[in-house]
Amino acid sequence: MKSFLKTTLLLSTLTGLFLGVGYMVGGRSGAIIALLLATVMNFGMFWFSGSIVLKMQKAVPLDTQQYGYIEQMVQELARIDNLPMPKLYFVDTPIPNAFATGRSHRTAVVAVTRGITEILDNNELRSVLAHELGHVKNRDMLVSTIAATVGGAIAILAEMAFWGGAFFGGGDEEEGNNFIGSLAMMILAPFAALLIQMAVSRSREYLADQHGKHLVGNGNDLASALQKLEDFKPKVSKLKPTARQDASAHLMFMNMFSAQGLASLFATHPSTKSRIEKLTTKEQ
């Protein structure tokens, strides 16, 4: 419940930021134009995201002859969760991970990598699959699209403010002030929007963790899976993430290339330590 309320608050803050920037730039009409532009751009991503991500990850349909146990796990979990059976995909990489995508319950896709099938036991893998079904159940693709739409609109408005301040100022002194203010808005508004978007992403991971915990009946297996993947990170820490890995990091069960320090403000996932602590406490 806390994570749900946090997501609601973050989305409300993002919307408030958008309305504030829109009003400063061009009143209601300017805000509406920016929102429409961002909506069109993100609608395409939302509608075709499933197929795009699968191609980016070079995913193929899961071989149910070799990985029939995974199919059985998902079938059982989907039945308990009252969800349609998602399509199952496989990514042939040693990097352990899993992800879910799809614009609705009926178009959902759950994918696993070869690496995660090799290092997790069945109980741990089942808990990860339950986590991914949590993303499907909570319609996280829609939530992330809303956040991206509003964030994109803020970026468009900020750019409008910059060029408006640069070319349509008043007198010399006023024009200079407009330019500086517009430049500040162009930098700070999208920066703030990005921070909020990443916070939304982290809050949805907490929600999916809790969903997985309740679906399998305990949080210990998911916590164990998280720790195993965390321990695996040094093996990939020297690798530079590819463009496709960066672009789809927010969908993954864990970001294996996550940043530390101040860069964690832009992290798509909470810290592993924090996730484990929440999973292993009795009440959330």
Among residues 154, 140, 146, the alpha carbon closest in space to that of 269 is found at 140
Q: Report the Cα–Cα distance between both ends of the chain, in Å, rounded.
A: 7
Among residues 88, 117, 83, 113, the alpha carbon closest in space to that of 101 is found at 88
Half-sphere CA count of 243, side-chain side, radius 13 A: 1
The H-or-E segment that residue 88 falls in is strand 87-91
Tell me phi and psi for residue 15, to 5 degrees.
-65, -40
Q: How would DSSP label each residue in 140-193?
A: HHHHHHHHHHHHHHHHHHHHHHHHHHHHS--SHHHHHHHHHHHHHHHHHHHHHH
Tell me phi and psi for residue 95, to 5 degrees.
-70, 120
Distance of CA 185 to the CA centre of its chain: 25
β-sheet with 98-101: strand ranges across: 60-61, 87-91, 109-113, 98-101
Structure tokens at 111: 């994918």
Choosing from 71, 118, 132, 277, the catalytic residue is 132
Active site residue 132: yes
Active-site annotation, residues: 132
